[in-house]
Chain A
Amino acid sequence: MIYLDHSATTPVHPEVVGVVTDVMQNIYGNPSSLHGLGVKAERLVEEARRVIARKLNCSPTEIYFTSGGTEANNLAIRGVAEKLQSRGRHLITTQVEHPSVYDVMKQLEQKGWRVTYLPVDRDGRVSLADLEKAITKESVLVSIMHVNNEVGTIQPIEQIGRMLANYPKILFHVDAVQSFGKLPIDLQKTPIDLLSISAHKFQGPKGIGALYIRKNIQLMPQLVGGGQEQGIRSGTLNVPGIAGMAKAVLLTEKQPHFLRDCQKWKKALIEKVTERVKPVVINGDLSLEGGAPYVINLSFPGVKSEVLVHALEEKGIIVSSKSACSSKTEKPSRVLKEMGRNDQEALSSIRISLGYQTTAAEMEQCADKLIEVVTKLQQVMKVRSR
């Protein structure tokens, strides 16, 4: 089996499994307890927090653990919207966000907030000019993802952050779930106020993530109770998950050639497939600066995504259609539609996403099987090549 669905989730690294297991067996105290077992667990949590803060170049006190990316996004957006509603009730985001951002915005809209959804170009990128135009005196939050989960397009978060620095009353949230650990993020260099990450996207355990909240920013807690995480996120800390996440963060540093290799393989696969199969549409930005090289999104008009995913699975190649969370709904991809693709193109896309264990041989096999499967399906579906 060749697993190429790393944007959905990654296999947990054996060393992470080791840490999680050991913590479960030996450090079972509640970090909030007064006694020695609690102190030990607390120290482990704080050490893990330091590891994660070091990676982002921020202070450990700015890291708040959550149950994952979805909760981090919810907390960031709803937490800010509710806290700052007396200042203004206008939020800005993009048309291509992950549902854990997009749907929160939709929900807030129903509750009376005004939301601007920025359009994207054919590559899936927002424009700085559009963003600046959307800003009003009522705006309190801009939420823009770093790397798009469906097509891998990188949003210019550095430029956006610098531009928004001219509007000190507007907070900037970045959903970095698909980029953290792979693309460099330096919070000292990029003015970002809130940033979401999730462990299972980089060989960590599921059910653990974090939200970076810049110092002195207040937001409304979405879970109340024991007052953990400085009262921002109550709930007994997931100590094994936290330790596992920190371990996974450290392991990301052992992959210096990851981006370079991915870019090479991505280019090779796309060249081979476009040469041999028609029609095919490449979704996303192919340049190294503009698109995450570990995400490849292709549409084969006339061949339904779901059919293609199953046919590839029969050949031992695991890929996905749209993002994992929405794969079960039969609707053309919102992201692809926003990028100007027609219904046919938006219903026939697959995502191939690479991970640290991916090899050149696997990518070659993937290309061959893809060509084989698509050609066959095109004959069955009577797709005419142009």
Chain B
Amino acid sequence: MSFDVILLRFGEWTLKGKNKSVFAKKLLENVKEKCKEFSSVRITQEHGRMFVELNGQPYEPVIEKLQEVFGLVGFSPAIRVKNDLEAIKKAALSIVRGEKNVQTFKVVSKRSNKKFPIRSLALNQQIGGHILANAQPIRVDVHQPDLSVYVEVRSTGTYVYGKDVPGLGGLPVGTSGKVLLLLSGGIDSPVAGYLSLKRGVELEAIHFHSYPYTSERAKQKVIDLAQILTRFGGKIRLHVVPFTEIQTEINKHCYESYSITIMRRMMLRIAEAIAQRRKALALVTGESLGQVASQTLESMNTINAVTHLPILRPLIGLDKQEIITISKKIGTYETSILPYEDCCTVFLPKAPKTKPEKEVASRLESRLDMDRLIKEAVEQTEMIEVKPESPETFSYFS
């Protein structure tokens, strides 16, 4: 049995009112982008439904790709036949036969083409009867069947499908405005990026690089992480901020116990400046309450005080184990745990303040040539475009 189309099912955004077309348009773009690599595949729309026309392409790899698209809750590979009872019966039977371990089934018919002579209920009975007669041993169970066979009679043809493969859900990327993700090399921030993408944002990322205290490998690791996120978010602009001077200045002029607090405040100031340039409306961090010294509420308060931008913290409700589970699922875990120094670990104080005060932080910061440091860091920031295509840089394997 080979499938002709994949039927796409949408999520909550279909409940929206006037904005609906914006969501649909964006989703169509994203789906098209994902299917680009399959040369025979075309995307079509009809009465609020979206179809992936396979034209001979096996459906599994296509679904695998579509499982990286937010805004889709499920997929059903379907057979398309003419509006002809015998053809429909045959297709329905092959759907049942193509599934393993099906002991009970039901048929759910929908006749949106009223010119078709057989009513839905009668269709259910006739198709069900055909399956019963030819796919023994099998029983009908209308309440909790192992498999529901869906039959949709439309004006252009009849779609028959069974399997429902779950999608990612969420909102189509690019429908909720732009955010700037503070991307370190750790486990948390890529997951935060993923979860914000899930809510439909367009993502840019910012990373603080302290060469030579952190290595080229650490920077490459962050590029690799951004690259993994592009699977879900398309192209990601990564802003790499030179942070060495700021860190050494903090180290020279401020109490060791406040160095992390002030470092985080500097990061936020720079991120805010970059966000303004890039027209991002919020910052996203991988913070989760109580994980480390800088993530107490007191600490967040003191750090947060330097910016007016909303800071989204998608991980706030998650335990470490839950975060790790997601990072393994999205494929960032293996990269995140590579052991390279990052800017937070190099200048790590022995006893960071867990309840830093705003006033103390401000006083310490007055010893720094703040405006110059920030201005220079922003100006010298390198922008890297990370694209979903494979990150290969050697021409040998193309």
Contact = CB atoms under 8 A, between A and B. Distances in A.
Interface in B216-258: 216-217, 220
A250 B394 CA distance: 14
A243 B396 contact: yes
Contacts of B393: 43, 47
Contacts of A61: 334
A48 interface: yes
A36 B216 contact: yes
Given A39-B220, A47-B392, A61-B334, A250 B215 contact: no
Contact of B396 (A22, A34, A59): A22
A23 B397 CA distance: 13
Contacts of B394: 43-44, 47, 243
Nearest to A215: B334
Interface in A241-264: 243, 246-247, 250
Given A47-B392, A61-B334, A250 B216 contact: no
B398 to A, nearest CB: 9
A246 B220 contact: no
B216 A246 contact: no
Given A39-B220, A43-B220, A61-B334, A246 B215 contact: no
A70 B177 CA distance: 56
B44 to A, nearest CB: 31
Contacts of A22: 396
A193 to B, nearest CB: 19
Contacts of B396: 19, 22-23, 44, 243, 246-247
Interface string A207-247: 00000000000000000000000000000000000010011
A17 interface: no
A310 to B, nearest CB: 40
A372 B397 CA distance: 45
A51 interface: yes
A47 B397 contact: yes
B397 A246 contact: yes
A23 B394 CA distance: 10
A234 to B, nearest CB: 18
A108 B392 CA distance: 43
Contacts of A44: 394, 396
Interface in B49-66: none
Nearest to B212: A34
A343 to B, nearest CB: 49
Nearest to B397: A51
A interface majority secondary structure = helix
A39 B217 contact: yes
Contacts of A247: 396-397
B249 to A, nearest CB: 25
Nearest to B393: A43
Contacts of A250: 397
Nearest to A27: B394
Interface residues of A, number: 18
Contacts of A47: 392-394, 397
Residue in A23, A43, A250 with the greatest tally of chain B CB atoms within 10 Å: A43
Residue in B220, B392, B397 with the greatest tally of chain A CB atoms within 10 Å: B397
Contacts of B392: 47
A247 B395 CA distance: 11
A356 B396 CA distance: 20
Nearest to B396: A19
A113 B351 CA distance: 54
Nearest to A16: B396
A243 B398 CA distance: 12
A258 B396 CA distance: 24
Interface string A1-45: 000000000000000000100110000000000101001001110
A373 B216 CA distance: 64
A147 B123 CA distance: 53
Contacts of B217: 34, 39, 42
Contact of A34 (B215, B220, B334, B397): B215
B259 to A, nearest CB: 25
A243 B392 CA distance: 13
Nearest to B392: A47
Residue in B334, B392, B396 with the greatest tally of chain A CB atoms within 10 Å: B396
A19 B334 CA distance: 29
A23 B216 CA distance: 21
A250 B392 CA distance: 14
Contacts of A23: 396
A65 to B, nearest CB: 16
B338 to A, nearest CB: 11
A381 B215 CA distance: 72
Contacts of A59: 334
A47 B220 CA distance: 13
A43 B393 CA distance: 9
B394 to A, nearest CB: 6
Contacts of A48: 397
A42 B215 CA distance: 14
A19 B394 CA distance: 10
A214 to B, nearest CB: 15
A34 to B, nearest CB: 6
A39 B397 contact: no
A23 B393 CA distance: 14
Contacts of B397: 47-48, 51, 246-247, 250
Nearest to B331: A59
Interface string A47-85: 110010000000101000000000000000000000000
Interface string B316-338: 00000000000000000010000
A132 to B, nearest CB: 24
Contacts of A36: 216
A51 B397 CA distance: 8
A109 B215 CA distance: 48
Contacts of B215: 34, 39
A44 B393 CA distance: 8
Contacts of A42: 217
B149 to A, nearest CB: 27
Interface string B361-398: 00000000000000000000000000000001110110
Interface string B191-216: 00000000000000000000000011
Contacts of B216: 36, 39
Q: Which 9 A-B pairs have the closest CB atoms?
A: A19-B396, A39-B216, A51-B397, A44-B394, A247-B396, A47-B392, A243-B396, A47-B394, A39-B217
10 contacts: A22-B396, A34-B215, A39-B215, A39-B216, A39-B217, A42-B217, A48-B397, A61-B334, A246-B396, A247-B396
Given A39-B216, A39-B217, A47-B394, 17 more contacts: A19-B396, A23-B396, A34-B217, A36-B216, A39-B215, A39-B220, A42-B217, A43-B220, A44-B394, A47-B392, A47-B393, A47-B397, A48-B397, A51-B397, A243-B396, A247-B396, A250-B397
Interface of B: 215-217, 220, 334, 392-394, 396-397
